[in-house]
Amino acid sequence: MSELLQVHNLTVHFATEDGLVEAVDSVSFSVRPREILGVVGESGSGKSVTAHALLRLIRPPGRIVRGEIRFEGADLLALPEEQMGEVRGARIALVFQSPRTALNPVLTVGGQIARLYELHQHVSRAEAWRRTIEMLTLVGIAEPARRARQYAHQLSGGMCQRVMIAMAIASSPRLLIADEPTTGLDVSIAAQILDLLRGLGRRTGASIVLITHDLGLVAEACDRVAVMHAGQLVEIADVRTLFKRPLHPYTQALVRSIPRIDREVAMEPIPGAVPSLLAPAPGCRYADRCARVLEVCRRERPVLRAAGASHEVACHAVEVESGTAVR
Amino acid sequence: MPWPWRRLARNRLSFAALGAILVVTVAALLAPWLAPYDPDEPDAAAALASISVRHPLGTDLYGRDQLSRLIHAGRVDLLVALSATAIALTLGATLGAGAGYRGGWVDHLVMRGVDAVMAFPAFILALAITAALGNSTANVVAAIALTHVPIYTRLIRGEMLKARETEYAEAARTVGNRPHQILLYHLFPNCVPPLIVQATLAMGFAILTVAALSFIGLGIQPPQSEWGQMTAEGAGYVVSGEWWLVLFPGLAIMLTVLAFNLVGDTLRDLLDPRMRGVR
Amino acid sequence: MPSRWRVALLSVEGLVKHFPLGGAGAWLDRLGGQAPRSVRAVDGVSFAVAPGETLGLVGESGCGKSTVARSILRLVEPTAGRVIFGDVDLTALSAEPLRRQRRNLQMVFQDPTASLNPRLSVGRTVQEPLQRHTTLGAGERRARVAEVLAQVGLGAELVDRYPHELSGGQRQRVNIARAIATRPRFVVLDEPTSALDVSIRVRAILLLDELRSTLGMTYLFISHDLASVKYLAHRVAVMYLGTIVEEASTAELFTRPLHPYTQALLSAVPVPDPDRRHARIVLAGEVPSPIDILGGCRLRGRCPLAQPVCAEPVTLRAVAPAHRVACHLV
């Protein structure tokens, strides 16, 4: 099965006045066609930076230091900017956090979407407007013709997010990256947005990368999940395996720590704090918080290794405990 | 509060500007001891002499040493600018804070007053006041102060409107502060930073205004030397070749005003606790 | 009156808060002989909180829960209704007696950054309530501040730091420290963890719980995070469009929700268990505007179970001991 997206050893650094922030450290994962991949982590885990890197949206002082991003066969990092511009928005789309602030406040929402059609699909203004209304209906906005003529501040948070999604899928991308699409939205609206994304994925055959800190969302919507901690990808597995048999100490701690409404749970906060990414220590960045830390953990960064069908973990302790390193 | 010299030094231009202001201020303060000659003492033999070791900035028609006159003039200019700015700042901040906090008719009244004053071009207004009241130094200070009050009033009123709505203002009330305590300890201190930048810029303007007023004869009266007045006098000698009479006072005005403009932003940053630990 | 109200620490009766719409619209209303419309943020809310318990107040944005919090503390003036704290009617107090009551009635705000004065150090912020309500001297206040900071898990060395030098979690702890400095009897927690990162959130919840039992406080816990409410609250009231639609003990509400809105809300919460993807109860449309509220049950336009009887006004009534619902069909 050929993957839609293959990320290999992606590393992103930010050169700030205080020093070098190593925001993303050798992250590797793939996205298959028609799947929903969840990327989970606390703030500072590097998940948003990874998303922006996929679309080459990293600006100075940020820099993609090394890595490979193969999308539909081509290495995105090697493409000239012009061709990358054609990929962005058209083949890979990004839905931002804070929908209201990501929309242009001085243009009508319909106008913003219509412009995309005019630009990417070279159609007339009238045709673009027609497609816009169609798209707004598709994303579940009632009275689309009236709403299209309104401005971002006149719409609720949930509606703004639907508009953002409409903009993202306007050109039928193969890959949709949703960066915290439900943060700040009410629970019931968030649920609707999630259903919308899933439905769109099924209907258009696009793959979705869902970036969030909410494990509940991930359990509801995703096929596979990647867990990030302090810029490193620590575990990636299909969703059931991740929740039933998490192997990485961080994943285990994360699952144990969240409050739930379906069962009585003693919420155990994860010990320690996310380490600073400014000139970080070599080795595993979870070492200072880990109950199973070994000496090698502080010296050598663990590499993602297979730990079962569709299950990879980057942890020395897991390798040691499973006998030998599974290759 | 420790002065972060290191941070200042990194921003070289501001450092130089602050240095320049310091030099001018010290020179103004120590004028009687610093000036090599009595600024009013004539010396007919050395009249209209160009720059030399004896008279580094030359002499004027009466043989008065220009360097000494310049230093003494700086005193006046700085004093006038400082007093005018201080008065305008105090008055404007009080009015604006009151207007912003109370709202309602108080706000309306104050802002219409501000509008009225701002309707006049600032310099014309200052001119009219000194012309009407007579040109003593005190009147010049009052005139400049009046034209500057609206700026501070508007500025702090805007900041107050914002500060009033913040969650920390609400918290201050929850904690048990009385209204005047909220105003004094929470709102006002957060409104002050833009005022500082404005005040330093205004110092520059004030110097320009007093210089301009004196240039046309409505400001500081001779024999008291003042940069604007000296420039005016010197202007008459450009054609006949005594270039030093116009150049040095003019440069003094220009460099001082420039220094004030440059230092404003840095001063504000220095006083902001948020900038601690940040470059 | 239900017997529990006699031992309540805080009792809210018929609280109403309307924000009149200003501007041309209201003027035109008056011209046309209509009563000017307003945003009916809180439209008749009554509940009681017993000493030592945590009452959770949940609902989505616009339901009025934050306005309820601010009305109780009279940070906004209620349009109608009474708030009885202990044996004092807060709504009838004048400015100075009200101010003095604040020693016992505190609030933890939602945004840890915005609720701290950026120009004041941590120590100065936390000792301010002590300054306003006690006669402790400067040294005694300092000692008390150190004590309170330790209670919220902050080191004494943070006393001279400024908010911008702290992390989000630390700022929220300062917020909490300020609220408990005078050992208040009642604390309103207004979405205290919403602005925090997920792992910090857990610690904050655990801290709040511990403080409540250690210091013997009573909480009104306002949140849209149902899982946190389930952990922390003894009883829960659900708000929708300015009124309470259901109120019950936590266990009861989460296992046997009776009101359709509560059921829909609970079904929308994502559960971190991939094997339990359940069908969601979806309410049609979006929350209507709190300006033009139709008569009868407020959920009428969106409720999947709506019947003709739902056009009649509905009241919050007990359907079981300590379980109140506002629904015709229950």
Tens digit of each residue's pLDDT (9 = 90 or more) over C46-98: 999 999 999 999 998 888 999 999 999 999 999 999 999 998 999 999 999 99
What's the gap between Cα A144 and its chain centre?
29
Q: What residue ranges in chain A does DSSP mark as E strands?
A: 5-16, 19-31, 36-40, 62-71, 74-75, 92-95, 175-179, 207-212, 224-229, 232-238, 305-306, 311-313
Please tell me the distance from the alpha carbon of residue B266 to that of residue B268, in angstroms, as a whole number: 5
C109 lies within 8 A of chain B by CB: yes
| C88 min Cα distance to partner chain B (Å) | 17
Please tell me the distance from the alpha carbon of residue A141 to that of residue A157, in angstroms, as a whole number: 12
Size of interface A-C (CB pairs under 8 A): 101
Q: How confident is the model at residue A326 (pLDDT cuts 50, 70, 90)?
A: very low
Nearest to B202 by CA among B271, B275, B147, B126: B147
- For C200, which residue in chain A has the nearest alpha carbon? A269
C102 to B172: CB separation less than 8 angstroms, yes or no: no
Please tell me the distance from the alpha carbon of residue A200 to that of residue A288, in angstroms, as a whole number: 41
B170 to C100: CB separation less than 8 angstroms, yes or no: no
- For B277, which residue in chain C has the nearest alpha carbon? C165
Subunits next to C (3 or more Cβ pairs <8 Å) are: A, B
Tens digit of each residue's pLDDT (9 = 90 or more) over B202-221: 888 898 888 888 888 888 77
More confident residue, A118 or C212: C212
Are the CB atoms for B266 and B8 separated by under 8 Å? yes
| A140 min Cα distance to partner chain C (Å) | 10
- Residue bearing tokens 């959770």: C56
Looking at chain C from residue 64 to 83, which residues have their Cβ under 8 Å from any Cβ of chain B?
A: 73, 75
Q: What share of chain A is helix, strand, coil (3-state, %, to 5)?
A: 40, 25, 40
Nearest to C271 among A213, A261, A267 (CB): A261
Please tell me the distance from the alpha carbon of residue B16 to that of residue C314, in angstroms, as a whole number: 74
C192 lies within 8 A of chain B by CB: no
Q: Name chain B contacts of C162, Cβ cutoff 8 Å.
A: 273-274, 276
Q: Residue B40 corresponds to which tokens in the numbers above?
A: 């009013």
Q: Is the pLDDT of residue B274 over 70?
A: no
Q: Is the pLDDT of residue B277 over 50?
A: no
Nearest to B167 among C99, C114, C133 (CB): C114
Integer CA distances (angstroms), C207 to A251, C169, C249, in order:
23, 12, 22
A216 to C203: CB separation less than 8 angstroms, yes or no: no
Q: Which residue(s) pair with A39 in the sheet?
A: A211, A226
Mutation for testing the A interface, residue in C172, C194, C202 having most A CBs under 10 Å: C202
Tens digit of each residue's pLDDT (9 = 90 or more) over C26-48: 677 777 777 777 888 999 999 99
Q: Quick check: helix, strand or coil at residue A203? A: helix
Looking at chain A from residue 231 to 270, which residues have their Cβ under 8 Å from any Cβ of chain C?
A: 239-240, 243, 254-255, 257-262, 267-270
| C302 min Cα distance to partner chain B (Å) | 34
Integer CA distances (angstroms), B51 to A171, B47, B57, B238, C290, in order:
76, 12, 5, 15, 81
B171 to C107: CB separation less than 8 angstroms, yes or no: yes
Integer CA distances (angstroms), A135 to A89, A113, A164, C234, in order:
15, 9, 11, 46
A260 to C282: CB separation less than 8 angstroms, yes or no: no
The single-letter DSSP state of residue A103 is S
Q: Which residue(s) pair with C42 in the sheet?
A: C17
Nearest to C46 by CA among C254, C316, C314, C293: C316
- For A253, which residue in chain C has the nearest alpha carbon? C199
Please tell me the distance from the alpha carbon of residue B188 to that of residue B104, in angstroms, as a whole number: 19
What's the gap between Cα C307 and its chain centre?
31
Q: Name chain C contacts of A240, Cβ cutoff 8 Å.
A: 274-275
Q: How confident is the model at residue A242 (pLDDT cuts 50, 70, 90)?
A: very high
Looking at chain A from residue 279 to 318, which residues have their Cβ under 8 Å from any Cβ of chain C?
A: none
Please tell me the distance from the alpha carbon of residue C274 to that of residue A230, in angstroms, as a whole number: 25
pLDDT, average across residues B102-129: 91
Q: Quick check: helix, strand or coil at residue C41? A: strand
Helix or strand (DSSP H, E) at A204:
helix A187-204
- Cα dihedral C40, C45, C49, C54, rounded to 10, equals -50
Q: How confident is the model at residue C1 (pLDDT cuts 50, 70, 90)?
A: very low
Q: Is the pLDDT of residue A324 over 60?
A: no
| C158 min Cα distance to partner chain B (Å) | 15
Nearest to C197 among A42, A188, A189 (CB): A42
Helix or strand (DSSP H, E) at C105:
strand C105-108
The pLDDT of residue A45 is 87
Please tell me the distance from the alpha carbon of residue A59 to that of residue B110, in angstroms, as a whole number: 47
B168 to C164: CB separation less than 8 angstroms, yes or no: no
Q: Is the pLDDT of residue B102 over 50?
A: yes
The pLDDT of residue C2 is 45
Question: Which amino acid is located at A269 in the chain?
Answer: P
Residue C33, exposed/middle/buried by CB under 10 A (0-12, 13-18, 19+)? exposed
More confident residue, B256 or C26: B256
Q: How confident is the model at residue B279 (pLDDT cuts 50, 70, 90)?
A: very low
The single-letter DSSP state of residue C85 is E
**Which of A34-38, B51-55, C16-20 comes out lowest in average pLDDT?**
B51-55
Nearest to B274 among C75, C99, C162 (CB): C162
Mutation for testing the B interface, residue in C106, C127, C128 having most B CBs under 10 Å: C128
Q: Is the pLDDT of residue C3 over 70?
A: no
Q: Residue C173 corresponds to which tokens in the numbers above?
A: 């702890």
Q: Is the pLDDT of residue C154 over 60?
A: yes
**What pTM, to 2 d.p., does this model score?**
0.83
Subunits next to A (3 or more Cβ pairs <8 Å) are: C
Q: Name chain A contacts of C199, Cβ cutoff 8 Å.
A: 42, 254, 257, 269-270
Please give the full DSSP string across A269-300, using - where no structure is assigned: PPSS-PPP-BSPPSS-TTGGG-TT--HHHHHS
Q: Residue A153 corresponds to which tokens in the numbers above?
A: 């501040």
Q: How confident is the model at residue B10 (pLDDT cuts 50, 70, 90)?
A: low
Tens digit of each residue's pLDDT (9 = 90 or more) over B62-85: 888 888 888 888 888 899 999 999
Q: Name chain A contacts of C271, Cβ cutoff 8 Å.
A: 216, 219-220, 260-262
Please tell me the distance from the alpha carbon of residue B210 to that of residue B145, in angstroms, as a whole number: 11
The pLDDT of residue B4 is 57
Question: Which amino acid is located at B130 in the chain?
Answer: T
Q: Name chain C contacts of A159, Cβ cutoff 8 Å.
A: 286
C99 to B167: CB separation less than 8 angstroms, yes or no: no
What are the b/e assignments for C180-201, b being 16+ CB within 10 Å? bbbebbbbbbbbbbebbbbbbb
Q: Name chain B contacts of C120, Cβ cutoff 8 Å.
A: 186
Q: What is the CA radius of gyration of chain A?
A: 21
- Residue bearing tokens 């704290």: C85
C116 lies within 8 A of chain B by CB: yes
The pLDDT of residue C313 is 85
* Contacts made by residues A21-25, CB under 8 angstroms, sequence distance 24+: A21/A277, A21/A278, A22/A231, A22/A277, A22/A279, A22/A280, A23/A49, A23/A62, A23/A231, A23/A277, A24/A49, A24/A50, A24/A53, A24/A231, A25/A231, A25/A232, A25/A280, A25/A285, A25/A301
C111 to B186: CB separation less than 8 angstroms, yes or no: no
Q: Is the pLDDT of residue B105 over 80?
A: yes
Q: Which residue(s) pair with C80 in the sheet?
A: C16
More confident residue, A291 or C35: A291
What's the gap between Cα C304 and its chain centre?
28
A259 to C197: CB separation less than 8 angstroms, yes or no: no
Are the CB atoms for A93 and A120 separated by under 8 Å? no
Mean pLDDT of chain B: 85
Tens digit of each residue's pLDDT (9 = 90 or more) over A87-132: 888 889 999 888 888 889 999 999 999 988 888 788 899 999 999 9
Q: How confident is the model at residue C131 (pLDDT cuts 50, 70, 90)?
A: very high
Q: Is the pLDDT of residue B60 over 50?
A: yes
Question: Which amino acid is located at B181 in the chain?
Answer: Q
**Which of B69-83, C119-133, C266-280 comes out lowest in average pLDDT?**
C266-280
Ramachandran region, residue C53 (left: φ > 0; alpha: ψ -120 to 50; beta: rest): beta
| B170 min Cα distance to partner chain C (Å) | 7
Are the CB atoms for B63 and B45 separated by under 8 Å? yes
Q: Is the pLDDT of residue B273 over 90?
A: no
State the CB neighbour count (10 A cutoff) for residue A30: 18
Q: What share of chain C is helix, strand, coil (3-state, %, to 5)?
A: 40, 20, 40
Q: How confident is the model at residue A327 (pLDDT cuts 50, 70, 90)?
A: very low
Integer CA distances (angstroms), C203 to A248, A256, C53, C109, C329, in order:
22, 13, 20, 17, 40
What are the b/e assignments for A141-154, b being 16+ CB within 10 Å? beebeebbeebbee
More confident residue, A274 or B105: B105
Mutation for testing the C interface, residue in B165, B167, B270 having most C CBs under 10 Å: B167
pLDDT, average across residues B52-57: 84
Mutation for testing the C interface, residue in A180, A217, A262 having most C CBs under 10 Å: A262
| C198 min Cα distance to partner chain A (Å) | 7
A220 to C230: CB separation less than 8 angstroms, yes or no: no
A267 to C273: CB separation less than 8 angstroms, yes or no: no
More confident residue, B268 or C184: C184
Nearest to C227 among A159, A194, A260 (CB): A260
The pLDDT of residue C243 is 93
The pLDDT of residue B7 is 58
Q: Residue A129 corresponds to which tokens in the numbers above?
A: 């407007």
- For A242, which residue in chain C has the nearest alpha carbon? C274
Q: Is the pLDDT of residue C193 over 80?
A: yes
Nearest to C108 by CA among C173, C196, C21, C37: C173
Please tell me the distance from the alpha carbon of residue A255 to that of residue A249, in angstroms, as a whole number: 10
C234 lies within 8 A of chain B by CB: no
The pLDDT of residue C173 is 94
The pLDDT of residue C5 is 47
Rounded percentage of chain A residues whose pLDDT exceeds 70: 98
Please tell me the distance from the alpha carbon of residue C38 to that of residue C19, in angstroms, as a whole number: 5
- For B191, which residue in chain C has the nearest alpha carbon? C119
Cis peptide before C36 (omega within 30 of 0): no
Nearest to B168 among C73, C103, C114 (CB): C114
Give the sheet arrangement for strand A311-313, strand by strand: A92-95, A175-179, A207-212, A36-40, A224-229, A232-238, A311-313, A305-306
Q: Is the pLDDT of residue B2 over 60?
A: no
- For C168, which residue in chain A has the nearest alpha carbon? A43
Please tell me the distance from the alpha carbon of residue B187 to that of residue B161, in angstroms, as a whole number: 10
Nearest to A224 by CA among C277, C279, C278, C274: C274
Instruction: Please report the sign of the dihedral spanned by the C-alpha atoms of residue A303, residue A307, residue A313, residue A317.
Output: negative
Q: Residue A146 corresponds to which tokens in the numbers above?
A: 């009236």
The pLDDT of residue B3 is 52
Q: Quick check: helix, strand or coil at residue C305? A: coil
Rounded percentage of chain C residues whose pLDDT exceeds 70: 96
Size of interface B-C (CB pairs under 8 A): 63
C271 to A260: CB separation less than 8 angstroms, yes or no: yes
C203 to A269: CB separation less than 8 angstroms, yes or no: yes
